Copies of this chain bind each other. A is one copy, B any other.
Amino acid sequence: MTQPPFASQSATGKLPAEGTQARRFGKTRSAQSTALLEDYVELIADLLDSEGEARPTDIARRLGVSHATAIKAIARVKRAGLATARPYRGVFLTEKGHALAHRVRARHRLVVDLLRALGVPTESAEADAEGIEHYVSETTLKAFAQFLKARG
Contacts and interface: CB of A to CB of B under 8 A. Distances in A.
Contacts of A147: 118-119
**A64, A118, A125, A134 — which one has the most chain B CB atoms within 10 A of its CB?**
A64
A124 B109 contact: no
Q: Give the dominant DSSP class at A's interface.
A: helix
A15 B50 contact: yes
A26 interface: yes
Contacts of A113: 8-10
Measured as residues with beta carbon below 8 angstroms from the partner, the interface class of chain A is 35 or more
9 contacts: A10-B116, A15-B47, A24-B127, A25-B63, A32-B32, A32-B35, A115-B143, A124-B139, A128-B136
Given A23-B127, A124-B139, 12 more contacts: A9-B116, A10-B109, A22-B61, A24-B127, A25-B64, A27-B130, A28-B130, A114-B118, A118-B143, A121-B139, A125-B140, A128-B137
Interface of A: 6, 8-11, 13-16, 18, 21-28, 31-32, 35, 39, 46-47, 49-50, 61-64, 109-110, 112-116, 118-121, 124-128, 130-132, 134-137, 139-140, 143-149
